[in-house]
Amino acid sequence: MRSGKMNRTPRAEQWFECPEHLPLRTIEQIWAARVLVVAPHPDDECLGCGGAIAMLAGCCDLRVLVITNGTMSHPNSRQFPAAALRALRESETRAAMNYLGVEPAAVHFLGLQDGAVPMKGIEGDAIGGDATGGDIFDIALQQCRDYLAEAQPQLIFLPWRADPHPDHRASWQLINAALPQPAPRRVEYPIWDWDAAQRGSIPSHIDVWRLNIQAVLPQKRAAISLYRSQVSDLIDDDPDGFRLSSEMLERFLQPWEIYFEEIT
């Protein structure tokens, strides 16, 4: 059931600190014949939705759309300059998704610049991006429209609309603006909201629930480990490079995944 009120905790921090109180759903309750998972960066899809992907990949048409090229994770590496880092991160995504049962041809990379996904400001002006000439938001928007018209998903996993990372919010905005009407079912997954210092409030019209992924948790754990650029010292020549901490990883290695869904 997607409509109607559920027992919700009014404070966002309680959803994250006491997730065991959230309703628990099974994969059968969210199954659809055509599913799309949208990732702002290579690895977000595995962290936020790896369990769902593992359970859905073998029983539906599942595709993965990665919005950015991931090159800002280690911007000062000489061993992996931008082109090499992009290739590495794409190969990690294909390997991780293949491990979870997704065919390489079902993974598509939009290739927008990491850290600069365009979005519309309050006044309607494009913000971010690195294209020259024209409306950079509209260029990316058309790319998303073309992809969605071909994929025709019935269920879409999206980054949480209010995620602290601007690329995540912009990715949500792009996909929602590109969707045909009536729009397919959308569920949203948190990434940086696990950081109490960054998370914001969650509106009352959003349901929060857990998906039971106990049966595929070992697969998700193994798939995440394939993102060596993000979880290991593979790239060791950039002191400012990004690495997922063990504490952060543990948040995504529970026997459930948290999802947000707008009440309809």
Q: pLDDT digits over 180-223, tens only?
A: 999 999 999 999 987 777 777 777 789 999 999 999 999 999 99
pLDDT at res. 40: 98
Torsion angle, CA of 160/163/167/170, rounded to 10 degrees?
60
pLDDT at res. 264: 76
pLDDT at res. 132: 38
Structure tokens at 109: 């990379």
Looking at domain 12-262, its CATH architecture is: 3-Layer(aba) Sandwich (3.40)
CA nearest neighbour of 152 among 173, 183, 121: 183
Against a cut of 0.85, is the pTM above it?
yes
pLDDT at res. 112: 97
pLDDT at res. 19: 86
CA distance 216 to 54: 7
CA distance 160 to 138: 21
pLDDT at res. 21: 86
SS3 state of residue 78:
coil
Residue 28 — φ and ψ, nearest 5°?
Answer: -65, -30
CA nearest neighbour of 66 among 87, 43, 48: 43
pLDDT at res. 200: 74
**Is the bond leading into 182 cis (omega within 30 degrees of zero)?**
yes
Spatial contact of 225 and 231, defined as CB atoms under 8 Å apart? yes
pLDDT at res. 130: 45
pLDDT at res. 119: 87
SS3 state of residue 195:
coil
Structure tokens at 154: 């019935």
pLDDT < 50 stretches in the chain: 1-10, 122-126, 129-134
Q: How many CB atoms sit inside 10 A of residue 242's CB?
A: 14
CA distance 118 to 212: 34
* Domain locations in the chain as residue ranges: 12-262
pLDDT at res. 55: 98
pLDDT at res. 224: 98
pLDDT at res. 9: 40
pLDDT at res. 128: 52
Q: 142: which residues sit within 8 A by CB, 6+ positions away? A: none
